[in-house]
Structure 1
Amino acid sequence: MGFKAGTAHCALEPLGGMMIKSHNAASKISLVAGASLLACALLTGVGHAGEAETPATVPTDATDQALDQVTITARRREEKLQDVPITVSAVSGQVLRTERLDRVADYAAKIANFAALQQNTRVSTLVVRGLGGNANSDGSEAGVGLIVDGVFFTHPGFSWLDFVDLDHIELARGPQGTLLGKNTTLGALIVTTKAPSYRPEATVNATVSSRDHYQVRGNVSGPIVGDTLAGRLTFYGDTGGGWITNKTDGRSYLDNRRWAIRGQLQFDPNPSFTDRLIVEHYDSKEYNNYYPPVGDPLTYVNGAVRYGWARRVLAAVGYTPSYDVKDANLDTQQRLISKTDGVSNLADLKLGAYTLTSISAWRRLYYRPNNDSDYTPYPIFRAGYDVDVDQFSQELRLASPTGGKIDWQAGVYLLKQEVRSNYRVELFSKASAFFLSPLLPSAILNGVETDQIGAADTKSAAVFGQGAWRLNDRVSVTAGLRYTHETREASNTVFSFGGAPLTGALALYTAYRTAVTGAPYTVRAKKKDGSVSWLINPSYRISDDVLAYASASYGEKSGAANLGAKLGDSIIIAPEKSTDYELGIKTTLAGGRATLNANLYNNTIDGYQATLSDPTSTNGRSYLANVGKVRLRGVEVEGAAQLSDHLNLSFSTAWGEAIYVSYKNAPPPAEYSYAGAPVSADLSGKSAPFAPNWTGNVSARWEQPLASGLSLFAYVNETWRSRTYLHPLSSFGRQEGYALTNVGIGLRGRGERWSVTAWSKNLFDKNYALAFSAATTVTPYAAILGDPRTVGLTLAAKPF
């Protein structure tokens, strides 16, 4: 899978020949060549002058060599990307549709230093500059925020959704909070869907692709009552595509079985008031909870024999594990169920030259996994987190008119969120043999269930303001301030039930059951916090086409609720504190036919929320805590050029590092946990997991008009990431650098009334892992797999 096996220190079963070699020279050359081609175009001045643009859209007029400009809303106003003095990237919905970038994780094909893990609703997270985290902690908020149509969503699982019918997406980097809803420490992904239109319009497209994968997407919009009320209805369905066949029952794992519907109403009774109501539902029932084992150390690094998962299953049921990631052989795996519902209302009221905005929203997430957690075809145990989230938010914001010496925005933000997370473990007939001994009766554990029910309730209230002062035509200073007050309540209740009564002859085994299930307990706490976030952002327009800027910002992410807390643990830990410095330049070149933007960043996060190992314990017990300090620093560059009437080139690349400045008492990897070994490790000075030093992409789009209003078009996109690892001390869970290539070619009719596209994702069928999970005494190292090559055909039409 492009990840490495063990070293000589650990005996490891082979990985079934699924290792990828390090990133080949051709991929690196393609990245450099793309940047060189853009630079060449800028220096030679190809084409004619025109209006400026971002690297995001396909020109709608093939004779106009100016780049199209995406309008962004990262500062809660509609602004051109090249005019905004902050570090933000944007991609238009047209480009996302043309290049088949359907999922949030696909956005990395256009934006460097960004990634998304979307294995399922709970194991989802957004990553900026190598950090994001909290995919496995329901009581923690994400370091990268998600904002959809102006609504901030706190739980990382909301990023799992497929967002369709998009206007554009934006990625704002660095701490956010003075304007963008709740505080974040790393950045925010801003998703904007298309609003209802008073001009009748409809689109529908159908896709058939590899492995019996079928997809349909459609929307219709138009007036309902004259020019006062308009509506928009969007639907998508997605099924098939599974590419791992389970030996036990023949089911196809890693498939799609999802659908969604979104309805909107736009109410415009007069020029002073507008209201947009959005109601949506997302639903899935999929076998996407497949995480194949990729290794389990048979010895510790000191050479001592290790009795871990591999030896346990061999002793308990006589099963010899396979580490071929396609060799699925599971007996208790079931489909994962996930549902999301949402209602939001966005209203704007003109008060003279000022605008009062209200954003009211409710969101619900429901998630039920059914994981075969023993990774075998034997009935041992099943485990997973049942998650329920209810979120209510209200934002009121007053904005001054623009164009004067000073413009400003100020408002209040209210949030109430309830999270329930139940870590449910079901034990089956072979559980006693696995957890205890094959010599003991199966009745000890068979039919027993243990529940760990965590609850986290948050009430947050904030006041904020941000303003820009234009000293003259070239110099301006933006400053923002926010105060947030939060009340958090959290609890964790652990208990077990079920199984045969341990009476009579079985009474002797009560202690054995308790050794596995533990004694019941409850911990709870309540905490109030206040925090201040700020931003200082000067900019200087060197010329009409060159904008230089700097920014210093500070933000805090709420103190996490440790929903796995044990007696004596702190169940609510302190906030993360992020201080970020940016220095950047934005240029529009060749008369509007090219853009080239670059920025430097240095972001320090104190009180980083991660896992600590208790140095006083005898068994290396770990828990969620504030572990120390992380430093992110690097450079990001992106650009685009309309090289001719028919050819557009864009690229983005980044070098960065995510380093633990201080992280003592970190949990060591499984192979370091031998008797007498230190129960913790010092990772100070080491890189954070899954944080590549290099990321990049190059895209080319070409269109050639033909006779009778037809156009032939094609695109190619190359994305590259350097090597990453799960743990700096372990030889397991290492992913070599890899490149992914997406291509497409198609034909469209006049006015894009219809089109047909043949396309492929991961054209060269690279095998790679998106992430890994750590081994424990009862589980192996496991991988979350990237998708293999997919080839498809998409038909699209605009009925009107």
Structure 2
Amino acid sequence: MHNRKIRVLALAATALTMVASAPAWARDDDKPKPVATTAGDPAADEDAQHATGQEILVTARRREEKLQDVPVAISAVSGNELADQHIYRVADFAAKLPNFAAVQQNTRVSGLYVRGLGGNASNDGAESGVGLIVDNVFFTHVGFSWLDFVDLDHVELVRGPQGTLLGKNTTIGALIVTTKRPSFTPELNLEAGYGNQNRYQIRANATGPLIGDTLAYRATFYVDRSDGWAKNKQDGQKYLDVNRWAARGQLLFQSGPVTSRLIGEHYETSEYNNYYPGFADATTFANGAVRSGAWENKLKSIFGYTPSYKIGQNANLNTQQRIDSRVNGLSNELTIDLGGPTLTAVSAWRQLRFRPHNDSDLSPFSILRAGYDVDVDQYSQEVRIASPIGGPIEYQFGGYFLREDLVSNNRSIFQADSTKYFLTGALPAAALSPAILDGVEYDQYGKLRVTSGAAFGQLTWHATDRLALTGGLRFTRENKKASNTATAFGGATLPAALAPARAAIVNAFGGVFEVADEKTTSSWSWLVNPSFKLSDDVLLYASVSYGEKSGAANLGATPGKPVIIDPEKSTAYEAGIKTTLAGGRATFNVNFYWNDIKDFQATQYDPNRVALGYFLGNAARARLRGVELEGSAKLGGGFSATASGSFNDATFRSYTNAPPPVELSNAVASVNLSGTRIPGSSKWSGQFSLNYDNNVSDTLGLFGYINQTYRSDTNLLSAVYGKQEGYGLTNAGIGIRSADGRYSLQFWSRNLFDKRYAVGIGQATAITPFIKVLGETRTFGTTARARF
């Protein structure tokens, strides 16, 4: 592991050396050339820019700007580069975006992380501190990040609080996804690929005019399927398969000063992505006492079954079924040129449906099926006015409205072997009738309604040609109404002597109750962001910003526990330098950050309210500080390189009443995690990419890439069982294409050396061992593309 870190750091150092010495191998024929554009056709302009490798125009400040001119910590990757390197899922973006990570094994087990924080506190009523914005629409639930984004123009990652312009809750950062717009130039793109695990992918998009230069369309479709790789002993089904498809349709209307872009989309998956292999169990406590209620101990003593912890070969489940996800969306972006200022109105609706069908006991016995049925409907409206670019004062101001309706139904369905598992030792053997629990369902039906409104404004004053000062302010008022209703039903009618046994298990799961709360909160977000150009190629910037993440609605609250908790409060300080070198052929950027977070939302134990047990609350203070570096260079001869790296010190400054790890739970009620690293936050991370694309004859071109990433060791659980060693992933590909780029054939691999690693670890309970959320194994294949 130490040698691997040295190799990766050496690669990064090599890339930065390339940046500094780029002029030594620059060739005249590799210099950026003027872009041929199609008047009145933004999509054609964008395609032309990407084709020549020019700088992406980013929109993180709600207007198009060159990446190197934006005085914030921001990274961007073109959709063409992502497609060429087979980066389709949000989790894979980490191979290109510094200090970014995502956990995505299924819709609900998802989370976006910047600088080690984000996620949603494992609760559907808690929102992420990392915002997700797709085609100018802010999405609330982490499940919306689950599916592949198709037909991408580019993605941007802004790090640090961005609450002034980029919507609610962006206290850690925001991922901005921009898809390709309809074009008035007819075009058809087809892609087909085949790989290991019998995986095939088909992607297609078509665009062109419908009515002259007034109305254009874009239609996109993709399907992605594979067999999976972890074979289930019960039925031979392979888990961690791929089975998904999506369709998008767009209409672009242009007439005089009015432009309107309408998008409709549907995404769907039905996959065995609920395989979370057990890898260990705490069969004894740290003091040596036997943990009789441990999953492994109970399976051995009750059923005579010894479970396997051999990841990839220990799937032995008798009631597992596919997880189904559906996402629908409709949005319209209306832009009107008012003869100077521009009015933009974005109206959107987004719907998520999630249905898990889990074998929750991870065994070949019929004990328990549990999981959260999730339904989300989100409606939003944003209106803003922006001044023209280039004046001494540039401004934007507007308003935002959001309505979200969310249901999270935690269903526990007891099966034929439930009575043996839960009541052995509590009842005489003769009384252990399967009817006591078989067919009983216990639900906790969490419901949330969010109504949020905001007014915002941001202004940039160009004091001189080189000195600028940006200030922003946002006021948000939000109402949350939440409830959790627990019911039990089903099962056979029991004699009076056995009814208490069923009631005891239902009470152990939480009992029958109803809790509710409603809160209205007001908050301010603000930004002060000076910048100074030392020269046309060197930009200095700094910022101080403050934002709040909405108070979480604890949809699993039981009587006495808080249903709605307070917001998180984030104050961040940033300073950096952006440099453009070698006449625009290279860049090198550095950013320093310090982020203090108060009232961090996490599980806690209150010694003054022992009867409540553990609950979601404002439990901690956290601090993120570190440095991020990025470099890129066009090396000549068709070669280009990028490198990035970060040092991230993410720690709990105060977290005194955290739940103890399982192995200590018989001795202490809580542990003090103050001063420890935040789970999942690697101290060191980075990537290096080398790309090649050049014609080797008048008719043929050769292209290829290699991408190496690295993340240092971390603890994914703040416990002895949560350790994940540092690891690196290697992605590579090579292909041939026609000289005009219309046809290509590529051979590629992701995770080339088949590194096995975890992106998440689940705590052992009375029903499960410690489990892992697995990273992607090695995939490889070939892809053919054609453009007409």
TM-score by length of 1: 0.93
Task: After TM superposition, list the pairs within 5 Å mapping 1:180-191 onto structure 2.
Answer: 180-191=166-177
Per the TM alignment, residue 112 of structure 1 is displaced from its structure 2 partner at its CA by 1.5
Q: Do structure 1's residue 381 and structure 2's residue 368 form an aligned pair? A: yes
Mapped to 2, the partners of 1:795 and 1:325 lie a distance apart of: 34
Per the TM alignment, residue 39 of structure 1 is displaced from its structure 2 partner at its CA by 4.2
Mapped to 2, the partners of 1:546 and 1:121 lie a distance apart of: 42
Contact conserved, 2:717 with 2:762, CA < 8 A, in 1? no
Mapped to 2, the partners of 1:653 and 1:366 lie a distance apart of: 37
Task: After TM superposition, list the pairs within 5 Å mapping 1:503-514 onto structure 2.
Answer: 503=495, 506-507=498-499, 509-514=501-506
Q: Cα gap change, 1:435/1:31 in structure 2, threshold over 3 Å: closer, same or farther? A: farther
* Structure 2 equivalent of residue 228 of structure 1: 214
Q: Do structure 1's residue 707 and structure 2's residue 697 form an aligned pair? A: yes
Mapped to 2, the partners of 1:594 and 1:323 lie a distance apart of: 49
Q: Cα gap change, 1:505/1:61 in structure 2, threshold over 3 Å: closer, same or farther? A: closer
**One-letter code of the match for 1:599?**
N
Q: Deviation per CA, 1:104-131, whole angstroms, max 9, x where unpaired?
A: 1111111110011111111111000011
* Structure 2 equivalent of residue 683 of structure 1: 673
Contact conserved, 1:87 with 1:172, CA < 8 A, in 2? yes
Per the TM alignment, residue 519 of structure 1 is displaced from its structure 2 partner at its CA by 2.8
Q: Do structure 1's residue 333 and structure 2's residue 316 form an aligned pair? A: no
Task: After TM superposition, list the pairs within 5 Å mapping 1:81-120 onto structure 2.
Answer: 81-120=67-106
* Structure 2 equivalent of residue 18 of structure 1: none
TM-score by length of 2: 0.95
Mapped to 1, the partners of 2:703 and 2:487 lie a distance apart of: 61
Select the residue among 587, 604, 624 that pairs with 2:579: 587
Per the TM alignment, residue 94 of structure 1 is displaced from its structure 2 partner at its CA by 1.2
Bigger shift: 512-521 or 657-666?
512-521
Q: Do structure 1's residue 146 and structure 2's residue 138 form an aligned pair? A: no
Mapped to 2, the partners of 1:609 and 1:29 lie a distance apart of: 35
Q: Cα gap change, 1:370/1:494 in structure 2, threshold over 3 Å: closer, same or farther? A: same
Select the residue among 745, 762, 780 that pairs with 1:773: 762
Aligned with 1:199: secondary structure? coil
Q: Cα gap change, 1:526/1:505 in structure 2, threshold over 3 Å: closer, same or farther? A: closer
Contact conserved, 2:353 with 2:375, CA < 8 A, in 1? yes
Contact conserved, 2:249 with 2:264, CA < 8 A, in 1? yes
Mapped to 2, the partners of 1:789 and 1:619 lie a distance apart of: 48
Contact conserved, 2:442 with 2:506, CA < 8 A, in 1? no
* Structure 1 equivalent of residue 263 of structure 2: 278
Task: After TM superposition, list the pairs within 5 Å mapping 1:293-308 onto structure 2.
Answer: 293-307=278-292, 308=294
Per the TM alignment, residue 433 of structure 1 is displaced from its structure 2 partner at its CA by 1.4
Contact conserved, 2:510 with 2:558, CA < 8 A, in 1? no
Mapped to 2, the partners of 1:290 and 1:742 lie a distance apart of: 25
Contact conserved, 1:620 with 1:679, CA < 8 A, in 2? no
Per the TM alignment, residue 300 of structure 1 is displaced from its structure 2 partner at its CA by 0.7
Aligned with 1:146: secondary structure? strand
* Structure 1 equivalent of residue 473 of structure 2: 481
* Structure 2 equivalent of residue 38 of structure 1: 18
Mapped to 2, the partners of 1:539 and 1:618 lie a distance apart of: 52
Q: Deviation per CA, 1:686-744, whole angstroms, max 9, x where unpaired?
A: 0110100011000001123122321011110001100111233x221211000000010
Aligned with 1:608: secondary structure? strand
Contact conserved, 1:52 with 1:69, CA < 8 A, in 2? no
Per the TM alignment, residue 777 of structure 1 is displaced from its structure 2 partner at its CA by 2.4
Per the TM alignment, residue 32 of structure 1 is displaced from its structure 2 partner at its CA by 3.4
Bigger shift: 69-78 or 439-448?
439-448
Contact conserved, 2:15 with 2:641, CA < 8 A, in 1? no
* Structure 2 equivalent of residue 749 of structure 1: 738
Q: Deviation per CA, 1:404-423, whole angstroms, max 9, x where unpaired?
A: 11010000000000110000
Task: Please report the RMSD computed on the Cα atoms of aligned residues, expressed in angstroms.
Answer: 2.0
The size of the alignment, in residue pairs, is 768
**One-letter code of the match for 1:683?**
L
* Structure 2 equivalent of residue 394 of structure 1: 381
Aligned with 1:429: secondary structure? coil
Contact conserved, 2:12 with 2:643, CA < 8 A, in 1? no
Aligned with 1:463: secondary structure? strand
Per the TM alignment, residue 37 of structure 1 is displaced from its structure 2 partner at its CA by 3.9
**One-letter code of the match for 1:442?**
P
Mapped to 1, the partners of 2:20 and 2:531 lie a distance apart of: 28
Mapped to 1, the partners of 2:632 and 2:72 lie a distance apart of: 18
Bigger shift: 640-649 or 503-512?
503-512
Bigger shift: 252-261 or 42-51?
42-51
**One-letter code of the match for 1:128?**
V
Q: Deviation per CA, 1:10-36, whole angstroms, max 9, x where unpaired?
A: xxxxxxxxxxx6673564255335434
Unaligned runs of 5+ in 2: 35-45
Per the TM alignment, residue 41 of structure 1 is displaced from its structure 2 partner at its CA by 2.5
* Structure 2 equivalent of residue 245 of structure 1: 231
Q: Cα gap change, 1:576/1:61 in structure 2, threshold over 3 Å: closer, same or farther? A: closer
* Structure 2 equivalent of residue 461 of structure 1: 453
Mapped to 1, the partners of 2:353 and 2:475 lie a distance apart of: 31
**One-letter code of the match for 2:743?**
W
Mapped to 1, the partners of 2:734 and 2:236 lie a distance apart of: 35
Mapped to 2, the partners of 1:563 and 1:636 lie a distance apart of: 37
Task: After TM superposition, list the pairs within 5 Å mapping 1:444-593 onto structure 2.
Answer: 444-503=436-495, 506-507=498-499, 509-593=501-585
Contact conserved, 2:94 with 2:101, CA < 8 A, in 1? yes
Q: Cα gap change, 1:52/1:580 in structure 2, threshold over 3 Å: closer, same or farther? A: farther
**One-letter code of the match for 1:736?**
E
Q: Cα gap change, 1:61/1:394 in structure 2, threshold over 3 Å: closer, same or farther? A: closer
Q: Do structure 1's residue 418 and structure 2's residue 405 form an aligned pair? A: yes
Mapped to 1, the partners of 2:157 and 2:168 lie a distance apart of: 16
* Structure 1 equivalent of residue 43 of structure 2: none
Q: Cα gap change, 1:217/1:296 in structure 2, threshold over 3 Å: closer, same or farther? A: same
Task: After TM superposition, list the pairs within 5 Å mapping 1:43-58 onto structure 2.
Answer: 44=24, 46-48=26-28, 50=31
Aligned with 1:101: secondary structure? coil
Q: Deviation per CA, 1:421-446, whole angstroms, max 9, x where unpaired?
A: 00001111111111221633222111
* Structure 1 equivalent of residue 396 of structure 2: 409
Contact conserved, 1:92 with 1:167, CA < 8 A, in 2? yes
Contact conserved, 2:488 with 2:506, CA < 8 A, in 1? no
Mapped to 2, the partners of 1:723 and 1:517 lie a distance apart of: 35
Q: Cα gap change, 1:514/1:340 in structure 2, threshold over 3 Å: closer, same or farther? A: closer
Mapped to 1, the partners of 2:685 and 2:611 lie a distance apart of: 39
Aligned with 1:280: secondary structure? strand
Per the TM alignment, residue 101 of structure 1 is displaced from its structure 2 partner at its CA by 0.9
Identity within the alignment, % = 52
Contact conserved, 1:31 with 1:696, CA < 8 A, in 2? no
Per the TM alignment, residue 316 of structure 1 is displaced from its structure 2 partner at its CA by 2.4
Mapped to 2, the partners of 1:332 and 1:484 lie a distance apart of: 46
* Structure 1 equivalent of residue 329 of structure 2: 342
Select the residue among 695, 714, 721 that pairs with 1:732: 721
Q: Cα gap change, 1:136/1:303 in structure 2, threshold over 3 Å: closer, same or farther? A: same
Q: Deviation per CA, 1:37-89, whole angstroms, max 9, x where unpaired?
A: 42453474744595599xxxxx9999x9x962010000000000001111110
* Structure 2 equivalent of residue 9 of structure 1: none
Q: Cα gap change, 1:492/1:593 in structure 2, threshold over 3 Å: closer, same or farther? A: same
Select the residue among 640, 661, 667 that pairs with 2:632: 640
Contact conserved, 2:279 with 2:771, CA < 8 A, in 1? yes
Contact conserved, 1:169 with 1:189, CA < 8 A, in 2? yes
Mapped to 2, the partners of 1:338 and 1:136 lie a distance apart of: 18
Contact conserved, 2:114 with 2:173, CA < 8 A, in 1? yes
Mapped to 1, the partners of 2:274 and 2:130 lie a distance apart of: 24
